[in-house]
Structure 1
Amino acid sequence: MEKDKIYFWRAIASFILVLFTMPLGHALMIMMDKNMAPEAVHYAGFAMGFVGLVIVIIGVFVKGDTRQTLWGLIGGLLFWTGWVEFLFQYYANRYGVPPEIEHGQVVTKPEYLILPASFGFWMMMMTMYIFSTRNGCDFITWIQKRLFGKRKNEIAFQPMTRHTSIVTFMEVNMILWASYLLLMFCYDKNFLGDHHPVTYLIGFSCFIGSLFMFKKQLHIASWGANIRMSVATVIVFWTPIEILGRINFFKEFWIHPQEYSVQLLCILAAFIILIVYMWMKGAKKKRG
């Protein structure tokens, strides 16, 4: 049957594409912080967020599911980096929020310490998704089934207007947001702490969960849908990587871009090649 067919190359290529955005994004922020004046960083960050938003909007008018997904992915990442992370950084620095320091080293930057204050906004968005829309997110669909039972189709009976670029954009930002909130909760010693057994259990659970998500991804035939599934799979997969890096289980080379420039340039080259390849695949499908 078609649903049992495995699309290994599409799944692995989509996964790698999204995976490579993680170290590249971290490296970009660190390079900007180290090589630009603080005022220039904030101007550049704001411009980055604006460019990301423009890219997402342009994606609404682009033809083809795969191409719209790529526009939404790139735009969403630029938006998050510029208008979320850099804006939190700006206000944390402006009002003198100190970093968290252990053994003489910064373990949590100020902007991430104040990020958990946005939890209420995240829940506001989730409430809208859960009660007001039928969508393809397995997590939200599971919550709807648990909350509404047989009344699910009555409470959330129709989807919102669908623009693939916007869908991808919102997916990137909502899942990144959720991941940061979870990690900050785990790292906070008032709740758990980075060496707490529950923190390790959460990291292990996310790793196992990402394997099941990738297994489902193997059966997705569409390039666009595969990339969108990869967004969730990669961010869940990246959660234990963040935890292991936090406890110095391995060296996070992407936070030392000057020392590992060759490796990061290779990742960037592979990322660009994959983007071009998928863009051409989208064009080929459109002509077909």
Structure 2
Amino acid sequence: MKTKNTWKTIASFLMVLFTMPLGHALMILMEHLLSPTMLHYTAFGMGALGILMVIIGVFANGDTKQTLWGLFGGLLFWTGWVEFIFMYYAHRHGVLPEIVNGEVVTKPEYLILSATFGFWTMFMMLYLFSVRTGCNFLNWCQKVFFGNRRETIVARPMTRHTSIVTFMELNMILWTSYLLLMFCYDNHFLGDHHPVTFLIGIGCLIGSVFMFIRQLKLSSWGANIRMSIATVIVFWTPVEILGRINFFSEIWTDPLNHITEMVTVLTAFIALAVYLWYVAFKRKRA
């Protein structure tokens, strides 16, 4: 059982991890290869396809399949209807990027993303006061804030659809991560070279290790994949911070000059994704 859990955890973690550089590379390629008009239509279609996949996942049978539908649908949704829509309106209204020493360090769409903090808080109020979840962080917050009254205030969970749960988990954690990074990078608050920014990166790295260890205890594929979403995004936070200060070269921001590396990552991702789909269908037949 321990051997099976180790393989499940590593495979799930790597598959979700590979989506991070691939997602960045996909956006860069679309910007380079598509005309502005075609880019907007393609991005809108991508987001719509993502929503459709999540809805299909609601009616799918099996925890693993529902999780995969929610994950891949959520990735397309975030890229198409969040990042590209922010890009569209940032360019349409002339939002300027942040430039340091002649180099663009923050694109316009990420600068205006910080303005969604109020909406993020609104969602967090819902999760904190009205939803019983399996999220360790939210459970801890509810115990701290509500104490013995938790069972009264948060009496029951919402209707659970694994595809929707995965979709919301992915988007909420991505959203939280981006807001945290934009706060850290903003010189009016901290700045990308501020000690607190580095401490946040170190804290996230250490936290991701403990999350990975906890993930090793999960015996089902679906639960492992869902836990991997949180683990990977927390792990990716220090990666983003180190890339911001040019500690290493982010090959996913220049995929056309790192074709071999990106194709290798894409091949590994496809192999893992196909394997997990195979596992999901095999379990159904069993």
| 1:55 aligned residue | 53
| 2:244 aligned residue | 246
Out of 107-116 and 4-13, give the one that drifted further: 4-13
Match of 2:189 among 185, 188, 191: 191
- 1:31-61: CA deviation from partner (whole Å, max 9, x where unpaired): 0111111121111111111110001001111
| 1:232 aligned residue | 230
Q: TM-score, normalised by structure 2?
A: 0.98
Aligned counterparts of 1:161 and 1:253: Cα–Cα separation in 2: 41
Aligned counterparts of 1:287 and 1:152: Cα–Cα separation in 2: 41
| 1:40 aligned residue | 38
Aligned counterparts of 1:265 and 1:40: Cα–Cα separation in 2: 24
- 1:170-222: CA deviation from partner (whole Å, max 9, x where unpaired): 00000000000000000000000000000000000000000000000001000
Match of 1:182 among 160, 180, 185: 180
Aligned counterparts of 1:151 and 1:263: Cα–Cα separation in 2: 52
Question: Aligned pair 1:114/2:108, yes or no?
Answer: no
One-letter amino acid of the structure 1 residue matched with residue 186 of structure 2: D
| 1:82 aligned residue | 80
Match of 1:214 among 208, 212, 215: 212
Aligned counterparts of 1:157 and 1:136: Cα–Cα separation in 2: 14
Contact 1:17 1:275 in 2 (8 A): yes
Aligned counterparts of 1:74 and 1:287: Cα–Cα separation in 2: 23
C-alpha change, 1:127 and 1:5, in structure 2 (3 Å) is farther
Out of 37-46 and 238-247, give the one that drifted further: 37-46
Matched residue SS, 1:7 = helix
| 1:10 aligned residue | 8
Matched residue SS, 2:257 = coil
Matched residue SS, 2:246 = coil
Contact 1:194 1:243 in 2 (8 A): yes
Deviation at 1:64, TM superposition (A): 0.7
| 2:132 aligned residue | 134
Task: Give aligned-pair identity as a percent.
Answer: 65
| 2:154 aligned residue | 156
Out of 128-137 and 6-15, give the one that drifted further: 6-15
Aligned counterparts of 1:278 and 1:84: Cα–Cα separation in 2: 27
Match of 1:99 among 89, 97, 100: 97
C-alpha change, 1:81 and 1:277, in structure 2 (3 Å) is same
Aligned counterparts of 1:95 and 1:87: Cα–Cα separation in 2: 12
Out of 189-198 and 278-287, give the one that drifted further: 278-287
One-letter amino acid of the structure 1 residue matched with residue 119 of structure 2: F
Aligned counterparts of 1:193 and 1:6: Cα–Cα separation in 2: 43
Aligned counterparts of 1:276 and 1:154: Cα–Cα separation in 2: 44
- 1:80-122: CA deviation from partner (whole Å, max 9, x where unpaired): 0000000000000000000000000000000000001001101
Contact 1:206 1:239 in 2 (8 A): yes
Aligned counterparts of 2:281 and 2:80: Cα–Cα separation in 1: 30
| 1:223 aligned residue | 221
Aligned counterparts of 2:154 and 2:29: Cα–Cα separation in 1: 44
Question: Aligned pair 1:167/2:141, yes or no?
Answer: no
Matched residue SS, 1:92 = helix
CA-atom RMSD, angstroms?
1.1
Q: TM-score, normalised by structure 1?
A: 0.97
Contact 1:6 1:218 in 2 (8 A): no
- 1:234-259: CA deviation from partner (whole Å, max 9, x where unpaired): 00000000000000000000111101
Q: Identify unmatched segments of 5+ residues in structure 1.
A: none
Match of 2:281 among 256, 280, 283: 283
Q: Identify unmatched segments of 5+ residues in structure 2.
A: none
